[in-house]
Structure 1
Amino acid sequence: MTGNFPVDDAVLEVLPEGTKVELAEPYGNSAWTITGRVSVILPDGIPKRYFLKYASGEHGHKMILGEFTSISTIHAVVPDLVPPPVGWGKCKSSAPDTYFFIEEYIDMDFSAPDPVRFTARVAEMERKGTSPNGMFGFPVVTCDGKITHNTEWESSWAVFYSKLLRNTLEVDAEINGRWPELDAAAEQVINGVIPRLLGVLQADGRTLKPSLIHGDLWGGNVGTSLETGDVVLFDAGSYYAHNEMELGIWRCEWGQYFKAEVYFRNYLRNFEPAEPADEFDDRNRLYRLKYDLVFAGCFPGSVTRQRVLNDMYYLCEKYAPLESLGRYDPLKDHSVTGAIIPSIPYQA
């Protein structure tokens, strides 16, 4: 074998017996894991390439198992939407404990995908991905970046999202420190806004189907196969959710090209807004909170914390007013101003 990327014996055990590794090299960019590309000759003489990822420790175990389960679940529903997963496990020759995930490698172009085809495929995944017990959640913990999701099963979407958001808030506070203004606004969002804005989705005879979502669907996790031209999703942190949750990350300032209205419009042609439809944009703002808090937790000092607080003020003023809270400032809302603000330390 040539190359400077390690291939643990445990990895070889999930490949077809008799596979010969020809080349293993670092490949891709990841802030939380070590990634590489492995070129092999299969027992029948056919060359093949794989994408291999390692992560260490208890948290690494959650990340690897969560991604393997996410990709496997999506693959079972829409097989050509993700790279075929091969296996995962614990490495045999490393300390601390290290875990691996391996999937088939796909040559991809990473420019903006076609809005019509991309949104149709995402909606197809969400429609076909059916919760095994009819509830919101996932059988294992998954991650968005390095931040874990609370995936405990819940029949109420409002309750599930409250727990998901609170978990993300706690992780953010551990990393960035407490911010009293944010804590106060968050409590009002969880106790006042969410019951009103999301509780209505399952009230008055309305039902809400838990949909399989990718869970981290920003531009960096999407490509187009150079061989087939098909959209390819990867690096998933899935759970069964309100399908509109998937779009919260598209509203983020760092969401890349998915911020463009053409992606929202084409998605909604495939999957109409839940009722009340006129509250779709406010739900999208509410769902953005989780993704921006994840970003703040992954990149300490990020200005996204200020955006989160401003979004909370907007939502509280509209759905659960509280005089003691600060006031929403539209000049700090990039979805209003269109301003691009670099990720700089906030001033709390």
Structure 2
Amino acid sequence: MVVHVGLLPLSSSCLPSLPRLPRLSSTKHRTFAMAVVSEDPVREWILSEGNATQITRISPVGGGCINRASHYDTDAGSFFVKTNRSIGPSMFEGEALGLGAMFETGTIRVPKPFKFGPLPTGGSYIIMEFIEFGSRRNNQSVLGRKLAEMHKAGKSEKGFGFEVNNTVGSTPQINTWSSDWIQFYGEHRLGYQLQLALDQYGDGTIYEKGQRLVKSMGPLFDNVVIEPCLLHGDLWSGNISSDKNGEPVILDPACYYGHSEAEFGMSWCAGFGGSFYSSYFEVMPKQPGFEKRKDLYLLYHYLNHYNLFGSGYRSSAMSIIDDYLRMLKA
């Protein structure tokens, strides 16, 4: 989603002592203890649990419009901090849990989260690893392989969903656990967005046709084995970069456990090429009917863009719905 803030390349090096910092607890049973609100909880954490004795510089980082981002230079290394003056800690809790879950797969590189909590004047913050980005573009082949390895390693015994609800862009994303992927995707992804379009724009046409699609899309999944895979959830070009060694880095997630193919829902602005898909499917083989399902996963993000940014995205969403209704004769 184009409104997320990313970690941008700066001149400082990565934190060499990161392994000494406290690890987050296990993904399966992770509960974050939010910091007690102090006058400056970010500074307090960096100068205690962050092992720094001095903050030498705080620099603003551009690139987003939801959160304020800063690079903290210290005598113990660098940290990346995001703050939001109007939204409570639940948004950053979702981000921290998502980053932590991806980090623990030991596959693709993500910024390691350290702490989130409330700000004393309202709003919230999150502290994470600072990654120095390189000048080279990400290697598509390596990106595809690493992403597939994350999907293969990140599994959930609870089914489809996530530990908490989170956001895709600024839109709430409902992650209530379900054992049925078709039901989960129909209700918590497409259905939720269709209801938003009805409530926000009074768009009864897209709501009615979209609901017909939700009720009839089952045959698109015939002969498909669907396992709950850990998804980044919002993988577009602005959330993909490379570190100074050229290794792919993904950030600003909207994580949940879902069908691996749903990860390609933002491919229309992710720039995935042939080498990306070839490497991905070497690790996660393509399943029957993949080409027929691709647009179903694009639809969720087109609907979200319609709800966030207006009518410019409506025609793309409507076209996908109409095509599926003709295909399914619904």
Q: Which residue of 1 aligns with 2:19?
A: none
Instruction: Verify the 8 A CA contact 1:282 1:315 in the aligned structure 2.
Output: no
1:116 positional shift: 1.1
Q: How much does 1:124 deviate?
A: 0.7
Alpha-carbon contact 1:248-1:288 (below 8 Å) kept: yes
Q: CA RMSD in A?
A: 2.0
Paired with 1:8 and 1:172, the residues of 2 have a C-alpha distance of: 41
Aligned length: 289
Preserved CA contact (<8 Å) 2:213 2:325: yes
Cα distance in 2 for residues equivalent to 1:155 and 1:16: 44
- How far 1:217 moved relative to its partner? 0.7
Q: CA deviation at 1:300?
A: 2.4
Q: 1:137 aligns with which of 158, 161, 183?
A: 161
Query: For the Cα contact (< 8 Å) 2:138–2:247, is it kept in 1?
Result: no
With structure 1 as the length reference, what TM-score do the two structures score?
0.78
**Equivalent residue runs for 1:142-181 within 5 Å:** 142-163=166-187, 164-175=189-200, 177-181=201-205
Q: What is the CA–CA distance in structure 2 between the aligned matches of 1:34 and 1:83, rounded to whole Å?
A: 17
The superposition leaves residues 220-250 of structure 1 with CA deviations (integer Å, 9 ceiling, x where unpaired) of: 0011101x32111110110000011001211
Q: Establish whether residue 87 from structure 1 lines up as the match of residue 115 from structure 2.
A: yes
CA distance in 2, matches of 1:110, 1:191: 47
- When the two structures are superposed, what TM-score results if normalisation uses the length of structure 2? 0.82
What SS is found at the alignment partner of 1:81?
coil
Equivalent residue, structure 2, for 1:339 = none
Please state if 1:190 is matched with 2:214.
Answer: yes
Distance 1:24 1:132, change over 3 A: farther
Name the counterpart of 2:281.
Answer: 268
Q: Deviations over 1:187-229 (max 9, x none)?
A: 1111112x2223x35xxxx642100010111110011101x32
Per-residue displacement from partner, 1:297-322 (whole Å, max 9, x unpaired)? 22223x22110000011111112x24
2:305 is equivalent to residue 295 of structure 1: yes
Shift, 1:80, TM fit: 5.7
Question: CA deviation digits over 1:279-298, x for unaligned, max 9?
Answer: 21121100101111122222
Match of 1:217 among 235, 249, 263: 235
**Residue type of the alignment partner of 2:153:** K
Paired residue secondary structure (1:103): strand
Unaligned runs of 5+ in 2: 1-37
Aligned to 1:24: 58
Contact 2:88/2:124, CA 8 A, preserved across alignment: yes
Aligned to 2:317: 308
Give the Cα–Cα distance (whole angstroms) in 2 for the partners of residues 300 and 21 of structure 1.
43
Paired position in structure 2 for 1:318? 327
- The one-letter code sitting in structure 1 at the alignment partner of 2:304 is V
Identity of aligned residues (%): 22
Match of 2:6 in 1: none
AA matched with 1:271: M
User: Which of 54, 71, 81 is the matching residue for 1:37?
Assistant: 71
Of 86, 99, 103, 2:128 maps to 103
SS at match of 1:77: coil
Amino acid at match of 1:236: P
